[in-house]
Amino acid sequence: MSDLLERLRGRGWRLTAQRRVVAEVLDGDHVHYTADEVHAKASERLPEISRATVYNTLGELVSLGEVIEVSTDGRAKRYDPNAHHDHQHLVCSRCGTIRDVHLHGDPLSSLPEPERYGFQVSEVTVTYRGICPNCSATS
């Protein structure tokens, strides 16, 4: 993600302090933040950045395919900067931690033709749930 800003500039993105900070937050720790968490982290470096800008910027990064939107719990969406490697997610049912995981085979092929009901199926997301080692230790 280090050359992300250059890539985006090449696509006509205007490079502002706010966008730079949002991109840096995502690029930093490799976790899955919510929009408001990104806003909080960004505010540490650029105190007056607004929530609207963070939401706008995240939306643009998603549209541009640089970031993936993940909604595992029906609560706040989370943003995953690991958009260039195909992967799925493993979520702890207790603490909500999310890990990126890599699957055996292509899950698209698990959906038989007669089960496609004429849809042009183009995408599949797989979410595994369970208890993480940390949580099962402290149960």
Partner DNA sequence: ATCTTGACTTAGACATTGTCCAATGTAGGA
Partner DNA sequence: TCCTACATTGGACAATGTCTAAGTCAAGAT
Return residues touching a copy of itself (CB under 8 A). 69, 71, 73-74, 77, 90, 92-93, 99, 101-105, 107-112, 115-133, 136
Asked if residue 46 binds DNA (CB under 7 A), the reply is yes
Choices 23-31, 44-52, 93-101, 115-123; region in contact with DNA by CB under 7 A: 44-52
CA distance 52 to 120: 34
- Contact call for residue 19 and DNA (CB under 7 A): yes
Residue 42 CB contacts under 8 Å (≥ 6 apart), including other chains: 18, 21, 22, 25, 49, 54
Kindly tell me which of 48 and 115 has the beta carbon lying closer to a copy of itself. 115
Region label for 117, one of left (φ > 0), alpha (ψ between -120 and 50) or beta (otherwise): left
Total chain residues near DNA (CB under 7 A): 27
Scanning 24-32, 43-51, 85-93, 116-124 for contacts with DNA by CB under 7 A, the matching segment is 43-51
Shortest CB 49 distance to a copy of itself, Å: 23
Cα distance between residue 139 and residue 129, in whole Å: 17
**β-pairing verdict for 33-34 and 68-70:** unpaired
Short-list 130, 123, 119, 137, CA closest to 89: 130
What residues make contact with DNA under the rule CB under 7 A?
9, 13-19, 34-36, 46, 48-53, 55-57, 59, 71, 74-77
